[in-house]
Amino acid sequence: MSGFSGLGGNIRAAGLLAPSDTHSRPHPGPHPLPPVEQPIRPHHTGRRTVGFWLIATLTTLGAVAALSAHTLAHHLTTRTDQEIARLSALGPTPPSTPTPKANADANVNTDTDTDTDTDTDTNANANTLILVLDAKGNVVERHPGSDNLPEFPTLTPARLTAYAARANPSAFGENYRAKVVRAPGAGRNGERGYLVTAVSTADDRQAVERLLQTETAAALPLLATVLIGARRLGRREVKEREDGERRLREFMASAGHELRNPLTTISGYAELARVGDPAYEPMRQEALGRIATEVGRMSTLIDELVLLTRLDLGQPLQLTCVDLAQLCRDAASAARDCHPDHPVRLLLAPGDHTVTGDPLRLHQLVANLLANARVHTPPGTTTTLGLGTEDGYRVIEVLDDGPGIPGELRARLFDPFVRGEETRAAGSGLGLSIVTAIAAAHGGMVTLEPSHPPHPSHRGAWFRVRIPAPS
């Protein structure tokens, strides 16, 4: 513990240091006051969360599937168009048109390679279909790459003329992409006709469908996982909201109870103060004094509630450079002067003890811890206030050698309005809640250390506050 050797050495010498079983923010437990019994209205937060994640997941998966299907379809279409362009470049005569035997014999030595390439190109793609049409759109010749190709749609002369004017291949129904070119002498009587070079896209469409089916099958486990996770998240949000509402109701019930007690006292003593008989003047004066006391108690309680609310809402602090060493000296001196029956020992480790914080709130933090030790211990109990540095944090420790904190109270010690049954002084039960809120507002934390360190004689409370040191 760097810079903390003085305090650490003294406390270790007393046998008070032990491994920490800290509770940085104890979980709320049952409150001593009964909560207001009101039914909690059902929330739709969980359903909204599940619906949101399902919609987001389905949208994402749908977008990915659509993009991948579009990309694959575009790739296949581009490849098909390239194949059509290659076949169309062979010339207006269908590559598979049989060459007359005489011409083949005459050119056996000169055109063998060309004929072989032509036949290879023609039969390279079994999905290729070449049609020779006359001017009216009637099929004159048909050269299929496969006998199982889908039926090519019938084309009217007007559509043939329109398609022939296009430079790039076009879609023909759902099963073909083709390019139409004018071909002289393609008709039965040698009139001008058309040459249609088509490639079936049925396999391409099936490939896209298989891709979508595969993505759908792969998405189902992911969708189920998201559904399970979203339902768990939704249930947790509902539970957190219900717990928050329950804590709020308990807080309001406790605050109402704390305010009702002084109000009842004030009401009773006010009735007594209204007695005009001079014989009751001493009692009347005492009643007025009790009224003033209860009014002060209510004022303090309201101020603490306002402060706790402001800290929980994260309202800005009055930040400045604070010397915690001087602050602890002042707090210890004030505690000794006001309560001499509770000795306070101050241990300061050597080194720098400055932090960036609100001096008023930090002083209140230390004062509340000292007051908490005082009101829960008998006269003569010694309280130790220590200050040092540990792992980049300023550490404030408050220990006492009193009876300690009951085990059933430790889990909810930092909740508002929690007081021990054997409290020797009246209080609001907000002191440790304010300490926790002030520490959190400064980026720190307050912890309750184990109630039984190795030294068997120590049973008192041990609080540690960690506040970030300036970088």
Q: Residue 19 corresponds to which amino acid?
A: P
Query: What number of helices (H) and strands (E) belong to the chain?
Result: 11, 12
Q: Encoding tokens for residue 419? A: 């007081």
pLDDT in tens, 315-365: 778 899 999 999 999 999 999 998 999 999 999 999 999 999 999 899 999
End-to-end Cα separation, the chain, in angstroms: 17
Q: Determine the 3-state secondary structure of 351 from DSSP.
A: coil
Q: Based on C-alpha coordinates, what's the Rg of the chain?
A: 45
382-406 b/e (C-beta count within 10 Å ≥ 16 → b):
ebbbbbbbbeebbbbbbbbbbebbe
279 vs 167, residue with greater confidence: 167
Supply the mean pLDDT for the chain.
76
Strands 193-200 and 176-183: antiparallel
CA distance 265 to 283: 15
- Say whether pLDDT at 426 is over 80: no
pTM of the model: 0.49
CA distance 174 to 168: 17
Lowest mean pLDDT among 46-50, 226-230, 296-300, 317-321: 46-50
103 vs 226, residue with greater confidence: 226
CA atoms within 13 A on the CB side of 291: 15
Position 428 confidence tier, pLDDT thresholds 50, 70, 90: low
CA distances (Å), origin 398, targets 105, 327, 362, 373, 436: 113, 14, 14, 8, 14
Q: Residue 30 corresponds to which amino acid?
A: P
Q: Determine the 3-state secondary structure of 222 from DSSP.
A: helix
387 vs 25, residue with greater confidence: 387
Q: Residue 394 corresponds to which amino acid?
A: R
347 vs 265, residue with greater confidence: 347
CA distances (Å), origin 25, targets 65, 342, 370, 395: 46, 28, 20, 17
CA distance 5 to 12: 10
Contact in structure between 99 and 119 (CB atoms under 8 Å): no
Position 414 confidence tier, pLDDT thresholds 50, 70, 90: confident
Residue 393 confidence (pLDDT): 94
Contact in structure between 398 and 335 (CB atoms under 8 Å): no
CA distance 67 to 445: 50
pLDDT in tens, 394-407: 999 999 988 888 87
Q: What is the CA 258 to chain-centroid distance, rounded?
A: 37
* Mean pLDDT to the nearest integer, 21-40: 39
pLDDT in tens, 146-193: 777 888 888 888 998 899 899 899 998 888 999 998 887 665 666 778
Strand partners for 170: 178
- Could you tell me the domains of the chain? 5-30+316-468 (3.30.565.10)
* DSSP secondary structure code for residue 108 in this structure: T
Position 119 confidence tier, pLDDT thresholds 50, 70, 90: very low
- Say whether pLDDT at 129 is over 70: yes
Residue 457 confidence (pLDDT): 53
Q: Determine the 3-state secondary structure of 466 from DSSP.
A: strand
Residue 216 confidence (pLDDT): 86
Alpha helices in 89-170 (DSSP H): 101-106, 112-123, 157-164
Lowest mean pLDDT among 61-65, 79-83, 157-161, 287-291: 287-291
Question: How much of the chain exceeds pLDDT 90, in percent?
Answer: 20
Q: What is the CA 215 to chain-centroid distance, rounded?
A: 28
Q: Encoding tokens for residue 157? A: 């002369």
Element (H, E) at 124: none
Please list, in sequence order, all residues whose beta carbon lies within 8 angstroms of the beta carbon of residue 369, skipping any fewer than 6 positions away: 396, 398, 435, 463, 465
pLDDT in tens, 87-113: 887 754 444 444 333 333 333 343 444
Residue 228 confidence (pLDDT): 85
